[in-house]
Structure 1
Amino acid sequence: MSNAFSAAAGSNSFVPLRLSGQSVLVKAIAVALGSLFLAASSWIEVPMYPVPMTMQTFAVTLIGALYGWRMGAITVLTWLAEAAVGFPVLAGGAGGLAHFAGPTGGYLVAFPLAAAMVGWLAERGWTSKGNLLRNVAAMLIGGAFILAFGGLWLAGMIGVSDAWTYGVGPFIVGGILKAVLATASVEATRRIHSAL
């Protein structure tokens, strides 16, 4: 029964890179490219206090949808490891361990979990052809998780009201737009994939 369910889920899924079946070299290249994409998305920044608005959530959810839950999470964790050792891969070209303990720490911790969540939904058909609303929903779920987890972390530092005012509320509309953009990117990838 579980094998039949897995087969059915696999036939409806859309994880175009299918990294789980690739060689270690291909996986390593995909992780490196994904971490570069995340770094580039971090440098697209709208300054806000205490947390800047970037394209990170777009990149995290898109990587989850395109890479699958395992490789998506590994890619985001690799990017976080690069940040931890001081590479300039975070918002504004920042890096270092201090960012994991500051106001952005909760968002950073949430990123690999959100990538895994979106990847898991993608592997169960949420991003398959004809499921446009579920595709958007998958991206929104990933983005909402990041905002909720990051907001809770921030609330522990500056209080619930200020965390909502500065770390959650202003990012909701942007999160919706980024979810739609991530969905459009998955759809574009599907069309390119189908044409090859």
Structure 2
Amino acid sequence: MAINLQKGQRINLQKDNGSTLQNVCVGVNWGAIEKKGWLGGISKEAVDLDASCVLYDENKNPLDVIYFGQLASKDGAVRHSGDDLTGDVSGDDGLDNEVITLDFSRLNSNVNFVAFVLNSYKGQDFGTIPFASIRIYEGTPSRVSEVFATYNIAKGEGFSGHVSMVLGIFYKRNGEWKFNAVGEPTSDKKLQETVETVRHNYL
């Protein structure tokens, strides 16, 4: 399996030993914004990034949205670790602030697309966040087997000035799951807008 895909690359999830990928995680790690006070002190501004997952059928209709307000899909295949409202306030601890897990074996058969997106809840510009990275990997929240896509949105070209993005999309072709590493910011302000953007532009 290819490691560290570049934006726009596609892979199938067949592994070298003939088995297919079953468990995938999307982890997001970010930091609070440092602000200098008028007396020279430094304060921290909480940053609320929201990772979400959207399930679509073959006709591109959204079936389910897993986000901070609904932490599991109806079929139990997708689970969200919960809402982080602040980001790391004491520097980068190297840990994911939010993790979404996907178990392909439990996905309802009418799901044809699984999209992962990121939104800045308070509208804080990605370019103002001191560090923010996303990784999509095989494994569990406590065990990373193989990372196959990473994005650095705090330092990445093109993310400044945006508050939402499409991370990547798993899609089913001829009964097999494949992955498209999208990695593109969108002009959306809210999650519902991003759900529609994915539907019209990326599926």
TM-score normalized with structure 2 length: 0.30
Higher strand share: 2
Higher helix share: 1
TM-score normalized with structure 1 length: 0.30
